[in-house]
Amino acid sequence: MFKSELDISSKRFESDLSNFLTLKQSVDEEVVASVTKILKEVSSRGDSALIELTKKFDDHMLESFFLSQDEINASFKNVNKEVVTALEVAFENIIQFHSKCRDSLNLEPIDSEISRTFRPIRSALLYIPGGKASYPSSVLMAAGPAIACQVKDLFLTTPSIDGVVNDLTIAAAKIAGIEKVAKLGGAQAVAAFSYGTESIPKVDKIVGPGNAYVAEAKRQLFGTVGIDSIAGPSEIIVLANETSSPEIVAWDLMAQAEHDQDASSILICNSNEVIEQIKQIIENELPKLERAKIIKSSFTNNGLIIKVESLEQSIEIINRFSPEHLHLAFDGNEIDPNDLIAGIVLLGSDSAVSFSDYVLGPSHILPTNGSSRYSSPLSVEDFIVSSTKVNMQIQNEKIKFNELIDNTSLIARAEGLTAHAIAVEKRKKH
């Protein structure tokens, strides 16, 4: 069922692992070309292009770009009250976590002459997928850090498939206090809020997960608009040993795979017995699940089992993947989690990924496809920008001031920038 099963003791292990990583990180040129065309259409024709593209991809004619307050209220009423309560509890945890993160930042001036000032960005778009499933949790996870930072203009967009917007998504938006909800999806939505159109405002930053077309649009538009990251399909590595519960591991792998057929579920284990038990549980339980077809496709397309001889061997492998989620599915300290690179590290058998996906507080919008090496989960830092302020008027030590001038002049003249040198030399105190 899994795409590949590798054994670290095999002579082909290195080449097989490299091939798997290469395929996982490859770029679909058809997606690139399609997105490039969409961006040009939206840039040149604005609203009319959005209407045509929505008809083409989502199979309905847009009569308005944003949901009315009545439509938002109607969606909210359609959602089970117990689900609403659960979402409210989750959002409370999310806001609490990100408010603490904001308060922990050192936002005080460094000194009187040179200081950094911080402010929230003015506007942001939360992109929320709406194709294969509903993602109210992503609404809350994207909105939490933005609201904690007091972003003034907060927009949400989500596809309206066949003219229908997902009730759960809209209910989550209402819980988060987001009133500006657009009925747009795909690369065209990203383009609209990046360029601005007759009806859609240009925003400072776009955050949130999406399919390959959304990710490619964010990649191409970075610079025109700020982005959080270029998200790929969801992924998990579960590290297990002979003490791990095969049942728990099997369900964690299936939970990840049910996102979509492009999701990647990877098991690393030092026990053949545990590996076989996990495979058997998956085989037995998978046919009973609503999204069995998607899970099976995910395993077939991107599933991987790696047999190691010791847990220590897994560290290098994990860090080569630098996965979105990493679950150490055993209780103990055999491995130092500080040695591991991942968007989120879940320690111990009870630390299910599902907790972090929904209710714990930290955002589940995480770096994917190896980008944990250089990027971080969505957080308050994504919605705060800084600038530096310099005030030399209060520099009252003449000797120190003139020394700054002399050193500046020497460096500027060394670079051949004479005007730079003269500009400070004219300020010398006598």
User: What are the Cα distances from residue 74, in Å, to 8, 42, 67, 154, 168?
Assistant: 55, 31, 11, 21, 11
Q: Which CATH architecture has domain 4-27+233-373?
A: 3-Layer(aba) Sandwich (3.40)
Please choose, from the candidates 157, 137, 130, the residue with its C-alpha nearest in 3D space to the C-alpha of residue 91.
137
- What is the model's pLDDT at position 132? 57
Reported as a single tens digit per residue, the pLDDT across 82-107 is: 999 999 999 999 999 999 998 887 66
- What is the model's pLDDT at position 110? 59
- What is the model's pLDDT at position 334? 83
Annotated catalytic residue, options 98, 259, 325, 364:
325
Sign of the CA dihedral with 362 first, then 368, 373, and 378 last: negative
- What is the model's pLDDT at position 103? 86
Q: Which residues pair with 119 in a beta bridge?
A: 385
Spans of the chain below 50 pLDDT: none
8 Å CB contact between 185 and 208: no
- What is the model's pLDDT at position 388? 86
Q: What predicted TM-score, i.e. pTM, was given to this entire model?
A: 0.90
Helix (H) or strand (E) holding 127: strand 123-127
Annotated catalytic residue, options 258, 324, 327, 364:
324
Sign of the CA dihedral with 138 first, then 139, 142, and 145 last: negative
Cα 111 to Cα 94: distance, rounded to the nearest angstrom: 33
Domain boundaries, the chain: 4-27+233-373, 46-228, 395-425
- What is the model's pLDDT at position 109? 59
The answer to whether domain 46-228 has CATH 3.40.50.1980 is yes
- What is the model's pLDDT at position 256? 94
Say whether 46-228 and 4-27+233-373 share the same fold. yes
Please choose, from the candidates 190, 235, 186, 175, the residue with its C-alpha nearest in 3D space to the C-alpha of residue 211.
186
**In the chain, how long is the greatest CA-to-CA distance?**
87
User: What are the Cα distances from residue 337, in Å, to 54, 184, 315, 348?
Assistant: 45, 40, 9, 11
Say how many residues make up the chain. 430
- What is the model's pLDDT at position 130? 82
8 Å CB contact between 38 and 186: yes
Q: Which residues pair with 125 in a beta bridge?
A: 155, 206
Cα 404 to Cα 409: distance, rounded to the nearest angstrom: 8
Does the annotation count 259 as an active-site position?
no
- What is the model's pLDDT at position 104? 84
Does the annotation count 325 as an active-site position?
yes
